[in-house]
Structure 1
Amino acid sequence: MVTVWNVVQAQVERIPEAVAARAAQTYTYRDLATLVSDLGERIAAKVRPGSLVALDASNRVSGAVGILAAIAAGCAVLPLDRESPAARRARVLDDARPALLLRELAEAEFALEESGLPSPPRQPSLGEVAYILYTSGSTGQPKGVMVPHDALVDRLAGLAEVPGLAAEETVLALTALSFDISLAELLLPLTVGASFVAVPDETRADPFAFTELVAAAAPDVIQATPSFWRMLMASEWTGASGTRLWCGGEPLTPSLARQLVPRGRELWNLYGPTEATIWATAARIDSAERISLGEPLAGVGVRIDDNGELLLYGSGLAHGYLNREQLTAERFPQGDTPQGRRRLYRTGDRARLRPDGSLEFLGRLDSQIKLRGHRIELGEVEATLEEHPAVSQAAVLLQGADQPELAALVAFVVQRAEADIQSWLKDRLPSSHRPARIIALPALPRTTAGKVDRVALAACLAVGDQAVPPTAVPSRGDVHALVAEAWRQTLAADSADEDANFFDAGGNSLLLAVLQKRLSDGLGVRVPIREIFRNPTIAGLVDSILRTKGPS
């Protein structure tokens, strides 16, 4: 069985002194191999081959070293979501029951901690599994996708061909490890003799600092979600003419494509669920009028059933879901293909084949959504809401899907009593999964079949939006007035609560960049994004600005 570590080792032997990664310091292939081997030996001394190792690390060099070391030790690796609340993280760990936790102490330095969790009675064999990633689950319980070594190796080889990555090229590594596309940034370069440049979290969140890093690093490839690209557009990023831009994780809209095409050497639209290993299709976009999912990557087969659902098959499919035999059987059935009976994956996405053979995305068949790159099962949010002792029923909608920069989750609840539900959700759901608004109703509307009438809820939401009365904002001088007005405009709100948290009020990384630009333009000085992060209320932000700028 060939693993990605075997492929990287071949590059180590071929070009040991070539640059493999740049972060706070530069690492050669030999440096990286030494770190991986040392950590792999420490892991092997603690657990048996086939064990599951959880990884709590950044997307920088630590991420690559931790993943490769676990694989080198014959283990499967579970990258943890560092931004998940403690309760959700505990659910993941309780379901996966890793034998060991690798906790990042510093760049490429780890503490090895026994998880303290007993192995489940029927611990599955993970000898062929490279990694497990947890995605949102419709029942309220996140589910672990088990990706085997051959799927990872084959997919990386396919991506090296299309969209393409050559030896000595450079990729930016900016995606969190809890997203499988991070593997295209960390591991793909190492399999072809290229290198990656690690993007610190604070730089990723600041479009101006990110722009400076891109100018200095001159990468050949930048991969990001449409939401991240919109954040850059909002900061008036002028582009990088020599860079190939990879875009995926959400639908690429014509308006965004029109902005991106002239800002890079090539623009690629990529599509693929976690269950099909990183990306499954790719399309080079030359015109905003011709946006498609493109054609399958090497080793990927596609089929569209009678209901319009896109089915994938081939070497890149996951083994299934950890501890979810029934769900695995439902989502990975056997089916007919031009190559005979094959194992399929039902994506839940609607698509059609265009006359030229390319795929066109038509939306979802279920309640799963993509919001700013995050895969969210509305059922998970609803189930979590209904765990609250004051909530008897809940339904969640995506508002503003046609305006990605303003899109947000809205929850409707039937309450037994008054309660601060938002504060309760902070301990149980990632910020990406929390509703921007919670609306209490005496009962949820139902269809004649007894199901929640989501069309009626959407209509209720529209009426409710028109009925919100504007309220006055207290003035504390010109700076306060400017901040409050920028806040209202950015959130498209009729009022601005001085002590409301920007992110709880519907803000996100894209709107953060919009707010930063409005403030910087209005004040005539650059307001760092980190200051908005540290002071996410109007009152706090005004105080911060006055401390650094002084009263106007």
Structure 2
Amino acid sequence: MKVSDAVSGVTSPDTALALIRRWRDASPDAVAVSGAGGVLTYRELHDRVDRLAALLRARGVGPEVPVGLCLERCPGMVVALLAVWRAGGAYVPLDPGFPEDRLRFMREDAGIRLVLAGQGVESRLLDGVADVVELAQDGVPAGGWASGDGSADGSADGPVGDVAGDLAYLMYTSGSTGRPKGVAVPHGAVVNLLESFASLLELTPRDAWLAVTTLSFDISVLELLLPLACGARVVVASGHETADGRALRSRAVSEAVTIMQATPASWRILLESGGVPENVATRLCGGEALPRDLADALLDGAPPAGGARLWNVYGPTETTVWSTAGRVARSDENGSAVPVDLGEPIGNTTVHILGPDGRPVPPGEAGELHIGGAGLARGYRGMPGQTAARFLPDPFSKAPGARLYATGDLAAIEDGRLRYLGRADQQVKVRGFRIELGEIETVLRAAPEVAGAAVGVCDGPDGLPRLVAYVVRAAGEPEGADLWPSLRDRLRRDVPEYMVPAHLVVLDALPLTPNGKLDRKALPVPEWTRARSRPYRPPSTALEEDLAAMWGEVLGIAEPVGVEDDFFELGGHSLTATQIIARIQARFAINVPIVVLFENPTVADLAVAMDRLDDDDLDLADIAALRDELDGLSAEDLAAVLDEMASDA
């Protein structure tokens, strides 16, 4: 059975949930979902979905009713999502890693009264919620099923939810005014996404998809639902695994994963942690521009030509995950490193490159990319003005009421291919996350020590984009005072970690254009140097020297890193932290949880913590020194040393 056989665009009577449920009858004992919390077959998955949906309906969930999902990564996350749809409601991701104030705003803005929460979620994140249902990792309520929670098949619980025109989910994205925007996506748009990619990727029940994306990032929709709609298996990577490249690679191998989707930054982490396993034969890259060098690395590490497929995918949240997809060729097929393009529109989707006058631009000329078709969201919840400004009437469609979404992305048709050229506004993408710079600026301006603030994006010394904060001191603030610690703490309270700038630049005044507006192009590129707030102290052991060198390489810092320098003050973040951990584990063969680096962010403290973690009676500093001595030996000399060590023993 193929999804494309069951669905024909959004006019089909079938819906995403109905498509997935077909496999309960076709292969009830096949594994549907696996991860922390165990394994669920298709029969077990739908039995739990039906019973949880009955519980939700009894608590008032129905069409257009939002339900918060505040869960760690586990099979129960999939049960919760589908149960909300089975009950007829719409889910709203509430990432447990987000600040309390942001979660509170999202709940209030969406009108959430009921939250499905994981047992490990801190209660303070749910303060003020009228109704909380705790779920175990396998999707069963923490107290077990109560009588009246619904029949096993759900036959007495009313009609299946997720009617094509009903709301499927609200996905909150960064807002330019400091207010996150809730993008309202209907079920019909989700069906169109699944139908298109089922045809494109040709998944079968033999496939396994490694799901690595948080629910609050909309690309999770494809990786969680498409495998289930095709009778395949979803492998839900735990939060620990998504932060540890070696652990993620191990999971991909042990579960015989065949397909994975990730942002460029996440793919690089996997490549640095031993490479992408050959069994992951289908690879999707999206969320931000795919560099040619990364594309080549993903293809070079793949099975022989024809054995692996790399797809570049593109699309904003407002058009339901991905709107275009293109198969990426090896750069040497045409004898040169051709740029990676955006591919072609997926099913029932149109793209137009328009000039300021709203007319199509000639081939080769840059314009703003506009997207229309079945994937469009309804708009922004409670924001009719912004909805009208971005979701425009579609003059190229004959369908009544058709609209085009103005993406803010610049593109051009070059040699018949759709090329991405960057952003046309202040919205940026960093590490795969879409960010409105104005939201970060709003938080900075609220600080009493700040008179003015701006945020920009600059390429770091490693060539990757980084957020940079620019501030002007408030009157009366001492010139020598270090503003960064307090501002960074304020940002971490108010915005997600991926929105916290990597660097702070203090200016006498913000640069302005002649008409008095902020001149972003005149914001200076920061000097990527060691944090000056700490005196430099050189490494005193071989282990400290190794760690300092790793930090300098990963963060792209040319000058020496001192043992008292703070990893995060140097511009480190969660993704670069995983790179450090991968290098540590590869060099010292010791398992270092990523939380150890967060709790010990200086070279000196991390070195001490690593020694405490070592289970063997070995001194890691001695190991590092010994490795340095052995690195320069030839194979013959090394063999002689080992023989001598053996005879001494």
| TM-score between both structures, scaled by the size of structure 2 | 0.78
In 2, are the aligned partners of 1:102 and 1:111 still within 8 Å (CA)? no
- State the alpha-carbon separation in 2 of the partners of residues 14 and 162 from structure 1: 22
In the alignment, residue 237 of structure 2 is paired with which amino acid? Answer: V
Give the direction of change, closer, same or farther, for the CA distance of 1:48–1:184 in structure 2 (3 Å limit): closer
- What are the within-5 Å matches in structure 2 for residues 66-465 of structure 1? 66-105=80-119, 106-107=136-137, 108-110=139-141, 128-237=166-275, 239-241=277-279, 243-264=281-302, 265-288=308-331, 289-307=338-356, 308-337=367-396, 339=398, 342-356=402-416, 358-400=417-459, 403-405=462-464, 407-416=465-474, 417=477, 419=483, 420-458=486-524, 461=526
Letter in 2 for 1:472: Y
Give deviations 1:14-47, integer Å, cap 9, x for gaps. 2222221122422111100011011101111111
User: Which stretch has the larger CA shift, 445-454 or 359-368?
Assistant: 445-454
Structure-2 residue corresponding to 1:29: 42
Query: What's the offset of the Cα at 1:94?
Result: 2.1
Give the counterpart letter for 1:6 in structure 2. A
Contact 1:241 1:263 survives alignment (8 Å)? no
Q: CA deviation at 1:156?
A: 0.9
Paired residue secondary structure (2:394): strand
Of the two, which has the highest radius of gyration? 2
Partners in 2 of 1:141 and 1:30 — Cα distance? 42
Asked if 1:61 is matched to 2:127, the reply is no
SS for the counterpart of 2:395 is strand
Report Cα offsets for 1:153-189 as digits up to 9, x if no partner: 1111111111332233211111111111111111111
> Using the alignment, how far apart are the partners of 2:258 and 2:181 within structure 1?
34
Residues 54, 102 of structure 1: 8 Å contact kept: yes
Change (3 A) 1:242 1:324: closer
2:312/2:325 contact within 8 Å kept: yes
CA displacement 1:488-511 (0-9 Å, x = unmatched): 333233364645542343113442
Does residue 7 (structure 1) correspond to residue 16 (structure 2)? The answer is: no
Partners of 1:169 and 1:518 in 2: CA distance = 31
Aligned to 1:478: 542
| Sequence identity (%) | 36
- Counterpart residue number, 1:543: 608
Q: Deviations over 1:262-308 (max 9, x none)?
A: 33311110111111111111000012424111000011111111140
Partners of 1:365 and 1:440 in 2: CA distance? 26
Letter in 1 for 2:439: E
Rate the CA distance shift 1:133–1:517 in 2: closer, same or farther, 3 A.
Answer: closer
How far did 1:390 drift?
2.2
Deviates more, 1:276-285 or 1:233-242: 233-242
Residues 482 and 522 of structure 1 are in contact (CA less than 8 Å); yes or no, is this contact kept in structure 2?
no
> Take 2:266 and 2:239, find their aligned partners in 1: how far apart are those partners?
13
User: 1:72 and 1:410, CA in 2 relative to 1: closer, same or farther beyond 3 A?
Assistant: same
AA aligned to 2:319 is: A
Partner of 2:570: 505
Equivalenced residues, count: 536
Does structure 1 conserve the Cα–Cα contact (< 8 Å) formed by 2:253 and 2:279?
Answer: no
Q: CA deviation at 1:144?
A: 0.3
Q: CA deviation at 1:379?
A: 1.0
**Cα displacement (A) at 1:355:** 3.6
2:58 paired with 1:45: yes
Q: Which amino acid aligns with 1:66?
A: A
Contact preservation (8 Å) 1:300, 1:313: yes
* Contact 1:470–1:495 (CA under 8 A) maintained in structure 2: no
Check conservation: 2:174, 2:436, Cα contact below 8 A. Answer: yes
* Compared CA separation, residues 312 and 496, structure 1 to 2 (3 A): same
Residues 249, 273 of structure 2: 8 Å contact kept: no
C-alpha change, 1:486 and 1:467, in structure 2 (3 Å) is closer
1:115 maps to which residue? none
CA contact (8 A) 2:539 2:562 kept: no
C-alpha distance in structure 2 between counterparts of 1:352 and 1:402, whole Å: 29
Give distance in 2, aligned partners of 1:287 and 1:73: 46
AA at the equivalent of 1:30: R
Tell me the alpha carbon deviations over residues 323-354 of structure 1, each in whole angstroms, 9 at most, x when there is no partner: 11111111101021154672111111111123
**Unaligned regions of 5+ residues in structure 1, if any?**
113-125
**TM-score, normalized by length of structure 1?**
0.91
Q: 1:454 to 1:431 in 2, by over 3 A?
A: same
Give the match's secondary structure for 2:372. Answer: strand
RMSD: 2.6
Q: Is the 8 A contact 2:24 2:46 kept in 1?
A: yes
Deviates more, 1:248-257 or 1:184-193: 184-193
